[in-house]
Amino acid sequence: MTLTIHEPPHEPLIRKVLGANYLELKLGRLAIEEADYTTICKLTVMEGDQPVEVEGKGVGVVDALFHGMLERYAREYQSLKSIELKGFHVGADLETKKAAPGVDAVGRVTLDIMNSEGRRFTFSDQSRSVTISMARAVLKITQYFVNAERAFLTLHNARRDALARNREDLVSRYTAEMALVVESTSYAEVISNIRKELA
């Protein structure tokens, strides 16, 4: 059974757990080349103030963006390898058009992602460029799952420290927070092993 979650859950908790270590990803620059049913996306991703060059190849823009972001982040954040695209929608808000033809209207891109537990998450972005919105939506997905994995591991370390100091109050709090954050992660061996410890 698939559980649909329209807004990524536990974002405030993830931000609170990570504090200054929360990874913000912003789109700096995007270039797209298409030929023979192959799309190459080259983008500059801002990791805070640090620019990182990412390149991905695929069938269409979203596929190329996903491949590029996975290539850059999935080696360190294994849970990204087990998320799946389940829905892709583009719509226009024609009330926002400035010119009579309406082709300058704000477009909304919505991407539905399923994690390894069958939970479905919805990410969207809107702007007057559908391509830019596609890229920003893919960045939001990457940012969310990277930070969920990091928050889970941070809580695990804090819980282990609290156990060593016999702080049952903190052990209970961190265990409860881990139970919430793990809903936002996807399969990664390190997360799976920690979940077995908690069971």
How far apart CA 136 and CA 159 sit, in angstroms, is 34
Q: What is the pLDDT of residue 100?
A: 58
Domains by residue range for the chain, with CATH: 3-198 (3.30.160.270)
The yes-or-no verdict on residue 4 having pLDDT over 50 is no
Give just the sign of the alpha carbon dihedral 122, 87, 188, 144.
negative
Please tell me which residue, 174 or 189, carries the higher pLDDT value: 174
Overall pTM > 0.85? yes
- pLDDT of 33-62, one tens digit each? 998 889 999 999 999 899 999 999 999 999
DSSP per position, 9-29: TTHHHHHHHHGGG---EEEEE
Contacts of 10 (CB under 8 A, 6+ apart): 148, 180, 181, 183, 184
